[in-house]
Structure 1
Amino acid sequence: MTNPKDTAVTDHAPHNAVSDDLAAAFQIEGWPVRGRLVRLGAAIDKILAAHAYPEPVAALLGEACALAALIGSSLKFDGRLMVQAQGDGPVRYVVADYGTDGTLRGYCRYDADEVAEVSKGFARPGAQTLLGKGVFVMTLDRGADFERTQGITPIEGESLSLCAEHYFEQSEQVPTKVRLAVGSVQTASGAQWRAGGAMIQIIAGDTTRGSTEEVWDRTRALFGTLADDELIDPTISPETLLFRLFHEDGVRLEDAKALTAVCRCSKDRIAAVLASFDPAERADMVEDDGQIRVTCEYCATVYELTPDEVVAEQI
């Protein structure tokens, strides 16, 4: 895809612009505010279609994936960002895993009957209804040579965007606003899941561009006009979306990065995990045809291994 740098935004996207499955930064001219935008099409559809999620659960996972890409795409090191939320509600656990190479995966663990029960009377139950009392967690993984760093805050509000805003307020002391949207649209190939996200933050210490408080109030007001359908509409380019919000002041789209749905599972990884089990435990996993079958929680790929293949991993 193209990777525009310092691209001035107009009401029309460039002819060769890519509008889907991307994360990009944007800068409002002369303002001490930075922003990021995420648009997900085929990538989020692949993640959500891998499981027969109820609509509210799929929407929650879509939010988590958009949020992980939104925040993770700003990282300046090679590694991973994991956005997680877990509680005592119908959805026990939701996780989105973003790699700084632009790869994304995610899954939910839930009780279908409980989700159906709490969904009665709701157009779409939100995060707190689905997750109940619990915690929102962001984990940074810089690789084997570094310890993981983790920030934890309580789940607050009916959107993961509110959880993220609370996290930045408590952990980073950075004024932040986040919008997330997930929905299904009709395409020539049928219904397809889409997701989008946008985030704005004050640039800490930037007092050279005028009153931070006044600018932040104005930016929040403009940002508040952003509608969910605009974030997921495939006919609205990122450039057009930003132009609608900030055209009076000028806005620049920067460093767009492609996003893809990629799971890191493999037969070798599964064999290595099975090899860590006690031999008696592995023996209980063998089915009548002599195979051990393991389903990846993320992508739902089913791996078949013989006990000899697992033992070979230990040699």
Structure 2
Amino acid sequence: MLGSKIAWDDTVLPFQLDASDIRGRVVRLDGVLDRILSQHDYPPEIEALVAEMALLTTMIGHSMKLRWKLSLQVRGDGPARLIATDYYAPEKDGEPGQIRAYASFDEERLVRGVNPFAQIGKGYFAILIDQGKGMTPYQGITPIAGGSLASCAETYFAQSEQLPTRFSTSFGKSRLSGSSESWRAGAVMLQKMPKASPFAAPQETDGTEGLLSASDILNEDDLEGWNRANIFLDTVEDMELIGPRVQLTELLVRLFHEDRPRVFDPRPIEFGCSCSEDKVRQSLSIYSARDIAHMTTDEGVVTADCQFCGAHYVLDPKTLGFEAEKDPDGDDD
């Protein structure tokens, strides 16, 4: 049982630690995460992976100069086959960013009561950036390692961007006074901004299995400030992260007052999905009439479901594919 809801829910607050040249994000998700997870009947192990990915995606997406979409994907050979999330940047200043997420898993192979991260097995963690029409998409990949999805993201930034990055996350179900049980989550992201090219020779890394760590990237002075901020972050408690009693500004002052935290305008986050009937039709436009016939149900229709938002589309097969007999509005070609 928690106290009453406060204004920081479904919010990202950017900040900077002036004394350490560290930027960061602190985020709280409640209604957004509850919307994502309530649409699916995921086992607890999968819910935990989706919740952590949603937090990471929100913070990373908001920290980038993004024109359209950031996607995070985890693919493994374990029971948790795929965790996929998308963050859509706001079109205008002050508008909310949007996030969606879903998971694909093999329920028969799930091991209940085991660390959710172990359900992924061997695989990779990928970040995909799509800046929109006319721009070349970017994709960065790092192996699954470190014991958590947050560790995978930290490894990506160290390896691909040479930016020491730290995430602290917490999530779970709670119940506000006078309301039903729902999901709440919170997290802090720290990222060191180097003054010069910090790349270190990979053969001299301190990281696990040859992966870069902060000590491989930073000089001695920068490493001292980075380590100090991480020690402060280690003291954060789960209830401070997920709220609602501790406000985000109070949390930053409590953790990092020695490094002079400076906050910027908070940004709202909401659930959003880009699926539409037109996009379903476009995806089916490459198929012949014979292919469409194989997709047609006994009721004489073609159906499609969005994995992210649960939208259900029912389409006339005669309006689909490059050999369509009718337009979607019913006119014969």
**TM-score interval w.r.t. the shorter chain?**
0.7 to 0.9
Counterpart residue type for residue 242 of structure 1: L
**TM-score scaled by structure 2?**
0.82
Q: Does 1:90 align with 2:87?
A: no
Q: Equivalent of 2:165, from 176, 181, 184?
A: 176
**Residue in 1 that maps onto 2:307:** 297
Counterpart residue type for residue 112 of structure 2: S
> 1:27–1:33: 8 Å Cα contact kept in structure 2?
yes
Q: What is the CA-CA distance between 1:278 and the residue it aligns to?
A: 2.5
**Residue in 1 that maps onto 2:251:** 241
1:4-23 residue pairs with structure 2 within 5 A?
A: 18-23=7-12
1-structure distance, mates of 2:172, 2:319: 42
Q: What is the CA-CA distance between 1:90 and the residue it aligns to?
A: 0.3
> 2:28–2:186: 8 Å Cα contact kept in structure 1?
yes
**Residue in 1 that maps onto 2:186:** 196
2-structure distance, mates of 1:268, 1:72: 26
> How many residues are aligned here?
290
2-structure distance, mates of 1:272, 1:164: 33
Alignment deviations for residues 202-235 of structure 1 (CA, whole Å, 9 cap, x no partner): 12118xxx93222112111001112233221222
2-structure distance, mates of 1:264, 1:241: 34
Q: Does 1:76 align with 2:65?
A: yes
2-structure distance, mates of 1:235, 1:156: 34
Unaligned runs of 5+ in 2: 1-5, 91-96, 197-219
SS of equivalent to 2:63: coil
2-structure distance, mates of 1:215, 1:227: 22
Runs of 4+ in 1 over 6 A off after TM superposition: none
2-structure distance, mates of 1:301, 1:105: 13
Select the structure of larger CA radius of gyration: 2
**Residue in 2 that maps onto 1:215:** 225
Q: What is the CA-CA distance between 1:277 and the residue it aligns to?
A: 2.2
Q: What is the CA-CA distance between 1:185 and the residue it aligns to?
A: 0.9
1-structure distance, mates of 2:288, 2:170: 44
Q: Equivalent of 1:34, from 23, 27, 40?
A: 23
Percent identity at matched positions?
36
Counterpart residue type for residue 246 of structure 1: F
Bigger shift: 273-282 or 253-262? 273-282
> 1:66–1:180: 8 Å Cα contact kept in structure 2?
yes
Bigger shift: 177-186 or 131-140? 177-186
Alignment deviations for residues 95-138 of structure 1 (CA, whole Å, 9 cap, x no partner): 110011111011100011212xx224x3xx232x1110000000
Q: What is the CA-CA distance between 1:73 and the residue it aligns to?
A: 0.3
Q: Does 1:274 align with 2:284?
A: yes
Unaligned runs of 5+ in 1: 1-16
Q: What is the CA-CA distance between 1:159 and the residue it aligns to?
A: 1.3
1-structure distance, mates of 2:264, 2:73: 28
> 2:39–2:310: 8 Å Cα contact kept in structure 1?
yes
Bigger shift: 303-312 or 41-50? 303-312
1:9-158 residue pairs with structure 2 within 5 A?
A: 18-101=7-90, 102-115=97-110, 118-120=111-113, 122=114, 125-127=115-117, 129-158=118-147
Q: Does 1:308 align with 2:303?
A: no
Counterpart residue type for residue 297 of structure 2: E
1-structure distance, mates of 2:278, 2:34: 27
1:228-267 residue pairs with structure 2 within 5 A?
A: 228-267=238-277
**TM-score scaled by structure 1?**
0.86
1-structure distance, mates of 2:259, 2:226: 14
Q: Equivalent of 1:224, from 220, 226, 234?
A: 234
